[in-house]
Amino acid sequence: MNYNQNHKISQITPSTLVVGIDIAKDKHVARAQDDRGYEFGKRLIFENRIEGFELLLEWIFKLQKEHDKSHVMIGAEPTGHYWMGLGYYLISKDTDFVLVNPMHVKKSKELDDNSPTKNDTKDARVIAQLVKDGRYSIPNLLAGIYAELREAIKL
């Protein structure tokens, strides 16, 4: 779907929990906030496997209940192919999963603390902020025959 920025921003309401995930090879870092940027809880570090993905969803459901949020928007920075397992998993669970441009993350880091230093916790917060501001894209993850055709073309 091709939305304009105003439509993307309108999807973030006071009942939305925004989760930013910094993707890495083995362990991902997630941070959650509301539509105004108020942070909820501490960061969550989870593994890039099914057990970690289930831990992420449990953490999100717990935050939803604690803060009375009915909608969740999960954003991630696509790092290599490491985000795809998480992306397919979250989409199969009917969650709103979006991607943030890595260059936007890099350029937006200095807004919070005037420092360009890199760490996963800070990046996860920046990703959540970018999702909140409507600066994301919807991934096109193929399934079924279309995924098989893509693999056949690669081979």
Give the CA distances from residue 98 to residues 64, 68, 74, 79, in Å, rounded to whole numbers and listed in that order: 19, 22, 6, 13
Number of structural domains found in the chain: 1
The predicted-structure confidence for 20-48, as pLDDT tens digits, reads as follows: 999 989 999 999 999 888 899 899 999 99
Sheet holding 16-22, edge to edge: 39-47, 27-33, 16-22, 71-76, 96-99
The model carries a pTM of 0.85
Residue 31: beta bridge partners?
A: 20
Q: What is the CATH number of the domain that holds 70?
A: 3.30.420
The predicted-structure confidence for 58-77, as pLDDT tens digits, reads as follows: 999 999 999 999 999 999 99
What is the extent of the structural domain holding 66?
5-154
